């Protein structure tokens, strides 16, 4: 026989739990509706939003109703969807539950706006769980961090580039050179350097002023970038000295590039200044050579070009390069 009192007690208990849940959700919505961040809830069984606060308009340009009608694939581009699903998979796993069932997670990914442009969004996620501690829903707090990302990227760029020309700086170049020399030793891959120095640059500054000289340096960097590959690295080494690191490039190809750059300079007049020239030193890395030895050789070759009359190229004999180089 069923104990009616017990059944009624269970029913009353469930009703109280549901009422408490409704009160909690009502409080959540009241807070969310007045928050500057976007607050939302998602059902993990369907991966659909069950609530989105009005501030979603500021981030995505869509209304709460429009957002709740979207699937996760419509909200996230493929690369961000992959990251989000991986995080959800970790939370759904037994290991994640056992480790810390009440933890929050923070994720920073790109998401679609209503017009399909991308915005960087940081979301802090809390997981609602059932009695078995399995996650059944997400409570999320999201904010637009696009400007923060832009500033971080700008700071990272400033840390590795020359502020005047936008070429890489000496510190970054040396770090990259070390790594590429190690790779060259490991895989017997050819690696070459070009050093160029603008001829009579001091006379340009004295006659036309430093601002014109700066414009010329920026123009030179632009000219070089149009001729080198994405894998090559251009750095400002000194005032008017530049280095080009050529990965997987033997000496003959590096000399050919230097000849192309020299010709481009000779046929490209700079505003107010006219035609300029540069002197080039070109060399190929030798197995187990030190950084200092390599830089000294290319520097000596560049000064050799200066002594021989400027506006020319000096380079090692091909036989001096790595014997294994094709």
Task: Give the CA angle between residues 323, 324, 325 to the nearest 5°.
Answer: 95
CA-CA distances (angstroms) from residue 247 to 132, 176, 232? 56, 11, 6
Q: Helix or strand or coil: residue 275?
A: coil
Rounded Cα gap, residues 49 and 82, in angstroms: 18
Task: Give the CA angle between residues 89, 90, 92 to the nearest 5°.
Answer: 65
Rounded Cα gap, residues 307 and 238, in angstroms: 19
Per DSSP, 308 falls in state T
Active site residues: 240
Cα 113 from chain centre = 21
Count the residues in the chain.
326
Rounded Cα gap, residues 284 and 247, in angstroms: 10
CA-CA distances (angstroms) from residue 268 to 26, 187, 223, 224, 309? 70, 39, 9, 12, 20
The closest of 76, 69, 18 to 46, measured between CA atoms, is 69
Q: Beta strand 313-315 with 278-284: parallel, antiparallel or unpaired?
A: parallel
**Angle of the 210-225 helix axis to the 251-266 helix axis, nearest 10:** 130
């Amino acid at each position: 026989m069923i104990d009616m009192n017990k059944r009624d007690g269970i029913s009353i208990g469930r009703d109280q739990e549901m009422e408490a849940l409704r009160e909690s959700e009502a409080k959540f919505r009241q807070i969310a509706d007045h928050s500057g961040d976007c607050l939302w809830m998602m059902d993990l069984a369907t991966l659909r939003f069950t609530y989105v606060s009005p501030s979603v308009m500021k981030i995505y340009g869509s209304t709460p109703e429009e957002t709740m009608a979207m699937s996760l694939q419509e909200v996230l581009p493929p690369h961000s969807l992959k990251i989000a699903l991986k995080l959800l998979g970790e939370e759904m796993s037994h290991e994640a539950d056992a480790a810390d069932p009440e933890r929050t997670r923070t994720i920073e990914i790109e998401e679609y706006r209503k017009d399909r442009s991308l915005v960087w969004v940081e979301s802090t996620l809390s997981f609602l769980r059932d009695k078995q501690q399995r996650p059944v829903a997400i409570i999320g707090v999201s904010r637009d961090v696009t400007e923060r990302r832009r500033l971080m990227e700008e700071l990272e760029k400033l840390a590795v580039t020359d502020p005047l020309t936008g070429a890489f700086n000496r510190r970054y170049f040396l770090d990259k050179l070390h790594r590429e020399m190690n790779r060259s030793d490991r895989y017997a891959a050819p690696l070459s350097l070009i050093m160029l120095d603008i001829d009579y640059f001091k006379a340009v500054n004295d006659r036309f002023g430093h601002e014109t000289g700066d414009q010329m340096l920026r123009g030179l960097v632009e000219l070089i970038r149009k001729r080198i590959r994405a894998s090559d690295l251009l750095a400002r080494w000194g005032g008017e000295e530049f280095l080009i690191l050529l990965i997987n490039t033997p000496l003959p190809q590096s000399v050919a590039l230097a000849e192309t750059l020299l010709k481009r300079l000779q046929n490209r007049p700079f505003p107010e200044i006219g035609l300029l020239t540069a002197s080039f030193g070109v060399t190929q890395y030798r197995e187990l050579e030190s950084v200092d030895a390599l830089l000294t050789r290319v520097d000596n070759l560049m000064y050799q070009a200066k002594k021989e009359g400027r506006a020319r190229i000096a380079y090692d004999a091909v036989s001096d390069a790595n014997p294994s180089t094709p």
